[in-house]
Amino acid sequence: QSETETVHLFIPALSVGAIIGKQGQHIKQLSRFAGASIKIAPAEAPDAKVRMVIITGPPEAQFKAQGRIYGKIKEENFVSPKEEVKLEAHIRVPSFAAGRVIGKGGKTASTSAKPVNELQNLSSAEVVVPRDQTPDENDQVVVKITGHFYACQASGL
């Protein structure tokens, strides 16, 4: 039984209907297939360009759910056929680990955590750990990962 985690995936607001499906059928099916809880947060503003999808479950379930969401966005032509679907994902990590992710100047001697520069080079995803972020009540900070599906998964965060 692996640990349950939550990832916030930001999708184009126009794609929400396709992700939810008629009477919520697609999102229910997706949730069952992936074995993860999938919820779409309300729009932050009436003209919001993106909506947050909250995916909660073990890493494998999140992988399946995100893969299907990226696929649906591509399939429904929310990006041009020649473009890769690039989305932003937010994950929370313990604040003590954020420094290890960043490393000195984006590089780190620690072998237990991949430095940001190396992560970005290996995965072609953009990884951002805001330095001035105040940890939440669980002493966690948000790491932002932007890229196409496999790049975000390859970052390994």
- Model confidence at 136: pLDDT above 90: no
Q: CA gyration radius for the chain?
A: 16
Mean pLDDT, the chain, whole residue set: 78
* CA 122 to each of CA 18, 19, 86, 119, 147: distance values in angstroms, whole numbers, following the listed order: 32, 30, 16, 5, 12
pLDDT-derived band at 80, boundaries 50, 70, 90: low
- The pLDDT score that the predictor gives to residue 149 is 60
SS (H, E, C) the chain: CCCCEEEEEEEEHHHHHHHHCHHHHHHHHHHHHHCCEEEECCCCCCCCCEEEEEEEECHHHHHHHHHHHHHHHHHCCCCCCCCCCEEEEEEEEEHHHHHHHHCECCECCCCCCCCHHHHHHHHCCEEECCCCCCCCCCCEEEEEEEEEHHHHHHCCC
pLDDT-derived band at 106, boundaries 50, 70, 90: very low
- The pLDDT score that the predictor gives to residue 65 is 93
| Overall average pLDDT of the 36-54 stretch | 93
Is domain 1-83 classified as CATH 3.30.310.210?
yes
Instruction: Write the CB contacts of 70 (distance below 8 Å, at least 6 apart in sequence).
Output: 85, 87, 148, 149
Is domain 90-157 classified as CATH 3.50.50.60?
no
* Lowest pLDDT segment from 22-26, 43-47, 112-116: 112-116
pTM of the shown model? 0.71
90-157 matches 1-83 in CATH topology: yes
- Model confidence at 104: pLDDT above 60: no
pLDDT digits (tens, 9 = 90+) for 52-74: 999 999 988 988 999 899 888 88
Domain spans, the chain: 1-83, 90-157
Q: Between residues 130 and 24, which one has the greater pLDDT?
A: 24
